[in-house]
Amino acid sequence: MLVALIAFGTVGYYIFEGMSFFDAFYMTIITISTVGFSEIRPLTVVGRSITLVVIVLGISAGTYTIGVIVRWFVEGELRKIFGRRKLQKKMADLKNHFIVCGFGRIGRIICQELCEENIEFVVIEQNASVIEDFAAEKYLFLERDATSEEALVAAGIMKAKGLVTVVNSDANNVFITLTAKGLRPDIFVLARASEEKNEAKLEKAGATKVVSPYMIGARRMAHVLKRPTVVDFIDIATMGNHLGLIMEEALIDSKSGFVGKNLIDSRLRQEFGVIIVAIKKLSSEIADPFNEHETAVISPVAGIVIGRMNLPLVHKGDALFHVAGSEDSVAVSESLDDFKEEISESTSSTTG
């Protein structure tokens, strides 16, 4: 509109007042801007009429244009300010969440997986080029250096369930691990190692678990060549429910009514439709109840597996690894949720 008005005034003065093109343009500009300069030459009635139109429309168009520009800047800044405050409030309310340091190829996939399971997390990334991706995915994030204590504290490390460090540099992963353990020695830290030789360094820095994506990828490719069907089955069980099959784990609470029972007495298969496939002891040893000579027992934080003879007992602290299958994947999820809730919340009716 403003451009059209300038063109109207310039052409009008040029035709009806006989001004040069530059003089006509100049006259139009000083009229629109209302700077108060005198007329270049005395105007005719037609010229004054053009001036009146240019003044009225010019003030309106100018005010509107300036308002739009100012609003664009102000609203953009305000949106950023309020958006950051909203994110900070959400992060302040988080508890038992995960902190993901790094949003590269691996970090992005981790966030997608956590988001699909509705697991709360905060991303720390200092690369400004990926900030738009956070906004598009509606992830909670901090645009900071993950190696700093301030960033980890702002992400809620004191209330977090665990931290994942997957930045590109192994040195930074070590530094982040050291910083996290310095703030909270008991926090679970999952670290990425780009090179196999750095896994030991990350473990010494305090990482609870170290994963080498390249090593895992190479082994997986080798397994695809050797046992393709087994790999396909494990993918379905652990990364999808296309066959209505879901593999999960559940921790045995110290007051659980299943503590001290074997698999038959616990009636897990009959009541929840799950198949216990492994028992992880507090010592991190994986028990094999399918072995008829296995005498492992289940304690708090371990897992149950279906056995044939000498069935292991459930002890507090055991972690139960189980598989459930059904034509209805929703029913499978609900069954596993009921099972995990029963495992963690069942009162010790048998223990008083």
- Sequence ranges of the domains in the chain: 2-73, 98-216, 244-345
Share of the chain above pLDDT 70, in %: 72
Distances from the Cα of 209 to the Cα of 56, 188, 205, 271, 295, angstroms? 72, 8, 11, 34, 28
CA distance 213 to 307: 34
Higher pLDDT, 50 or 261: 50
Q: What is the CATH number of domain 98-216?
A: 3.40.50.720
What is the pLDDT of the chain when averaged over all its residues? 77
Average pLDDT over residues 343-351: 48
DSSP 284: S
Query: Comparing C-alpha atoms, which of 151, 82, 91, 79 is closest to residue 122?
Result: 91
Q: Is the pLDDT of residue 36 over 50?
A: yes
Give the list of residues 6+ apart from residue 231 with CB closer than 8 angstroms, or none. 220, 223, 224
Average pLDDT over residues 145-150: 92
Q: Could you report the per-residue pLDDT of 125-145, keeping only the tens digit for each?
A: 988 777 777 766 778 888 889
Query: pLDDT at position 339, please?
Result: 58
**Residue type at 287?**
A
Q: Which residue has the tokens 């999960």?
A: 248
CA distance 350 to 126: 53
Q: Is the pLDDT of residue 289 over 70?
A: no
Q: Could you report the per-residue pLDDT of 195-236, keeping only the tens digit for each?
A: 888 999 999 999 999 999 988 889 889 988 988 887 777 776
Residue 87: both structure tokens together: 């994110």
CA distance 241 to 331: 11
Q: Could you report the per-residue pLDDT of 93-115, keeping only the tens digit for each?
A: 889 999 999 998 899 999 998 99
pTM over 0.75: no
CA distance 219 to 212: 11
Helix axes 2-16, 21-33, angle to 10 degrees: 130
User: Residue 315's pLDDT band (boundaries 50, 70, 90)?
Assistant: low
Mapping DSSP to helix (H, G, I), strand (E, B) and coil, where does residue 286 land? strand
Range from 92-96, 259-263, 327-331 carrying the lowest mean pLDDT: 327-331
How crowded is residue 1: how many other Cβ atoms within 10 Å of its Cβ?
A: 11
Query: pLDDT at position 184, please?
Result: 94
Q: What is the CATH number of domain 244-345?
A: 3.30.70.1450
Residue 281: both structure tokens together: 């002891």
Higher pLDDT, 213 or 316: 213
Same fold: 98-216 with 244-345: no
Query: Comparing C-alpha atoms, which of 175, 163, 91 is closest to residue 134?
Result: 91
Query: pLDDT at position 322, please?
Result: 53
2-73 under CATH 1.10.287.70, yes or no: yes
Distances from the Cα of 177 to the Cα of 17, 65, 157, 280, 282, angstroms? 78, 52, 12, 26, 24
CA distance 156 to 89: 11
Give the list of residues 6+ apart from residue 145 with CB closer than 8 angstroms, or none. 126, 151
Query: pLDDT at position 208, please?
Result: 93
